Amino acid sequence: MIHDNFQNIKSSIPNNVTLVAVSKFQTVEAITCLYTEGQRIFGENRPQEMVAKQALLPHDIQWHQIGHMQSNKVRMIMPFVAMIHSVDSLELLRFVGAEAVRIGRRVDVLLQVHVAREESKHGFGPEQLLQHLSQGMLDDIHGVNIVGLMAMATFTDDMAVVRAEFERVHQLYLQMQSLAAQRPAFSGDGIRWLSMGMSGDYRLAVECGSNMVRVGSLLFGA
Ligand SMILES: *Cc1c(COP(=O)(O)O)cnc(C)c1O
């Protein structure tokens, strides 16, 4: 089943879109099955679970942290995590940077932006993010490469609402790219990942400009 799900999803997204297989709650066996299919990027939302699985699975897996993280959980994943999608405050950004510096590495991070109607979703406000960037608040935070944005849409069947939110995030992504291009601290490849889209809305997200989708239940089964 995982084989078919994987092939279906892979064939429904363009080659430039990266698939993050969301493996939270999944067993090591299920992850191994997908690994055998060729998948190398896995996303977890709990640091403890990521650490436990990382120890048991092949070391060429790239682990992505996708869920909200307390700063006291940062240290346990920092030695190996490939990307953190859920950096949702300046405080956490600085904390992640300081931890990375402490162990002598740099880590790729995405800034999570809040556009959903639910108040419970974490993240920067769109205006706040543009302001931070243009005021230099995101410059020179050692230990992190800010490589893009992550967002989640409102949990609803109303695809018009979801589309409007995805389009807003894509707009913000383009604005951030052009602002970042003017700042030496962001030289190099800069802002290049837009992580949005899950099982229920990943096709729509890709239509709206996403180039990184985080798919769990559709891949592994609920
Ligand atoms: C669980 C989760 C996903 C995947 O959700 P599915 O609907 O199972 O595809 C994506 N992103 C985040 C942040 C998640 O917590």
DSSP annotation of 186 reads: G
Q: Which ligand 1 atom sits closest to the C-alpha of 198?
A: 9
- Burial class (CB within 10 angstroms; exposed 0-12, middle 13-18, buried 19+) of 41: middle
CA dist 15 and 134 (Å) reads 32
Q: Which of 122, 156, 198 maximizes ligand 1 atoms within 8 Å of its Cβ, making it the mutation to test the pocket?
A: 198
Ligand 1 pocket, residue 212 CB under 6 Å: no
Q: Which of 214, 217, 219 maximizes ligand 1 atoms within 8 Å of its Cβ, making it the mutation to test the pocket?
A: 214
**How high is the pLDDT of residue 119?**
82
Whether pLDDT at 189 is above 80: no
Ligand 1 pocket, residue 198 CB under 6 Å: yes
CB 109 within 8 A of CB 83: yes
**How high is the pLDDT of residue 188?**
65
Whether pLDDT at 111 is above 90: yes
Condensed to tens digits (0 to 9), the pLDDT of residues 50-98 reads: 999 999 999 999 999 999 999 999 999 999 999 999 999 999 999 999 9
Whether pLDDT at 190 is above 80: yes
Tell me the β-bridge partners of 22.
43
**How high is the pLDDT of residue 147?**
96
Condensed to tens digits (0 to 9), the pLDDT of residues 123-175 reads: 999 999 999 999 999 998 999 999 999 999 999 999 999 999 999 999 999 99
